[in-house]
């Protein structure tokens, strides 16, 4: 197996290669050249004849990445790769999972169709599954979903004394409940209303039952940060200890990271699915387990990857 790190993302591929020594994995070069007119030239180190190729590319900022990514996959196949896989710790476009207004794109399905046309398999971490219950509903290729909950819970156990886990909305309840159980912490789930990209309202129940606990806001994604900021404002007004924000994927649009710190977060911490100063929770070993499982039994029915 040759693992191709996306330019600027070598940490993931460098962690995967030694962890997958049993698959004879080693890293290989993938380079991009940006032409002045906005097109991109993709160049890959040819794979071993009949060998497998795995591109390691997390998919924040997906619009700029996707065309070169598809070209890279196609090129590897043309050059003789037997199987071309994708490890994308953050999988883009999963939140637009229905037409909220007639005429809107069903982005989750459309994006899945694009990737599935070029890759033989996909490994990702906690994709945003809400109205789509299972990634296999939209990805007609073998997929493995890696769950970060054990890593998030371990981080909370190690860094937060007497945590109170808080999910900011019903969609987060699935992750928050899993993390709370693993961290042996109580859980509350807030109600959220999103009125626009940057207009989020949440309601916080009476917190008097949890004196002395440190609120830990858990979400799958921090994007604009408005969800976490709205929850932080309520928690600070309720006089809690300074809350900690923990998420699987930190996209941090604009200056969201610093805005959350300014809004009163004691810390903002994410997994390494997207590179950022907040990405303190290493999930490389979990991802390697997902890749190994996919490679060894690609046709197994999407088993859950948990340690």
List of residues contacting ligand R5P (CB under 6 A): 95, 168-169, 171-172, 200, 219-227
User: Least Å distance between CB 54 and ligand R5P?
Assistant: 27
Alpha-carbon span 199 to 193, nearest angstrom: 9
Query: Which lies closer to ligand R5P via its Cβ, residue 227 or residue 270?
Result: 227
Alpha-carbon span 269 to 247, nearest angstrom: 7
User: Least Å distance between CB 247 and ligand R5P?
Assistant: 8
Neighbouring CB atoms inside 10 A of 115's CB total 22
Query: Which lies closer to ligand R5P via its Cβ, residue 144 or residue 226?
Result: 226
Neighbouring CB atoms inside 10 A of 41's CB total 11
User: Least Å distance between CB 121 and ligand R5P?
Assistant: 26
3-state class (DSSP) for residue 229:
helix
- Listing from the earlier edge strand, what are the strands of the sheet with 304-305? 26-27, 2-5, 52-56, 83-88, 121-125, 143-146, 304-305
Query: Which lies closer to ligand R5P via its Cβ, residue 258 or residue 296?
Result: 258
Query: Which lies closer to ligand R5P via its Cβ, residue 56 or residue 148?
Result: 148
3-state class (DSSP) for residue 276:
coil
- Dihedral sign for Cα atoms in the order 86, 92, 95, 100: negative
Cβ-contact 220, 175 below 8 angstroms: yes
User: Least Å distance between CB 265 and ligand R5P?
Assistant: 13
Alpha-carbon span 202 to 35, nearest angstrom: 45
Of 239, 182, 250, 191, residue with least CA distance to 215: 239
The alpha helices in the chain, defined as continuous H runs, are 10-19, 62-78, 107-116, 149-159, 173-182, 226-237, 256-262, 284-296
Query: Which lies closer to ligand R5P via its Cβ, residue 254 or residue 303?
Result: 254
Query: Which lies closer to ligand R5P via its Cβ, residue 20 or residue 125?
Result: 125
Query: Which lies closer to ligand R5P via its Cβ, residue 172 or residue 272?
Result: 172
User: Least Å distance between CB 264 and ligand R5P?
Assistant: 16
User: Least Å distance between CB 154 and ligand R5P?
Assistant: 21
User: Least Å distance between CB 200 and ligand R5P?
Assistant: 5
């Amino acid at each position: 197996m040759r693992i191709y790190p996306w330019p600027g993302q070598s940490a993931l591929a460098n962690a995967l290669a030694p962890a997958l020594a049993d698959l004879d994995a080693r890293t290989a070069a993938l380079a991009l050249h940006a032409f002045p007119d906005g097109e991109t030239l993709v160049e890959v180190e040819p794979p071993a004849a009949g060998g497998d190729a795995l591109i390691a590319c997390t998919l924040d900022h997906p619009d700029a990445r996707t065309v070169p990514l598809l070209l890279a996959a196609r090129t590897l196949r043309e050059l003789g790769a037997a199987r071309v896989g994708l490890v994308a710790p953050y999988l883009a476009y999963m939140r637009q999972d229905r037409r909220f207004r007639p005429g809107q794109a069903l982005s989750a399905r459309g994006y899945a169709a694009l990737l599935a046309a070029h890759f033989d398999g996909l490994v990702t971490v906690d994709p945003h599954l809400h109205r789509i219950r299972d990634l296999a509903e939209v990805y007609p290729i073998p997929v493995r979903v890696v769950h970060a909950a054990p890593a998030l819970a371990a981080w909370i156990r190690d860094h937060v004394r007497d945590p109170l886990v808080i999910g900011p909305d019903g969609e987060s309840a699935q992750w928050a409940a899993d993390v709370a159980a693993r961290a042996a912490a109580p859980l509350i789930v807030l109600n959220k209303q999103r009125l626009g990209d940057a207009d989020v309202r949440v309601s916080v129940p009476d917190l008097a039952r949890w004196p002395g606990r440190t609120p830990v806001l858990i979400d799958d994604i921090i994007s604009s940060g408005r969800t976490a900021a709205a929850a932080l404002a309520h928690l600070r007004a309720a006089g809690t200890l300074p809350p900690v924000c923990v998420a699987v994927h930190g996209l941090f649009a604009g200056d969201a990271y610093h805005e959350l710190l300014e809004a009163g977060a004691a810390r903002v911490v994410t997994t390494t699915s997207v590179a950022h100063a907040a990405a303190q929770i290493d999930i490389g070993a979990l991802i390697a387990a997902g890749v190994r499982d996919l490679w060894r039994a690609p046709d197994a029915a999407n088993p859950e990857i948990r340690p």
